[in-house]
Amino acid sequence: MKLIIAIVQDKDASQLSEQFIDANIRATKLSTTGGFLKAGNTTYMIGIDEKRVDEVLTMVKESSHSREEFMTPPVNLDASMEDTTAYPVKVQVGGATVFVLPIEKFKQF
Which of 14, 15, 66, 76 lies at the binding interface for a second copy (CB under 8 A)? 66
Q: Is residue 106 near a second copy by the rule CB under 8 A?
A: yes
- Name which of 40 and 88 has its Cβ closer to a second copy: 40
Q: Is residue 98 near a second copy by the rule CB under 8 A?
A: yes
Q: How far is the CB of 26 from a second copy (least distance, A)?
A: 5
Residues in region 6-35 near a second copy by CB under 8 A:
7, 17, 20, 26-35
The rounded distance, in Å, linking the Cα atoms of 16 and 83 is: 39
How many CB atoms are located within 10 Å of the residue 84 CB? Answer: 11
Q: Is residue 5 near a second copy by the rule CB under 8 A?
A: yes
Cα distances (angstroms) measured from residue 72 to each of 79, 91, 93: 16, 10, 14
| 29: Cα within 13 Å, side-chain hemisphere | 14
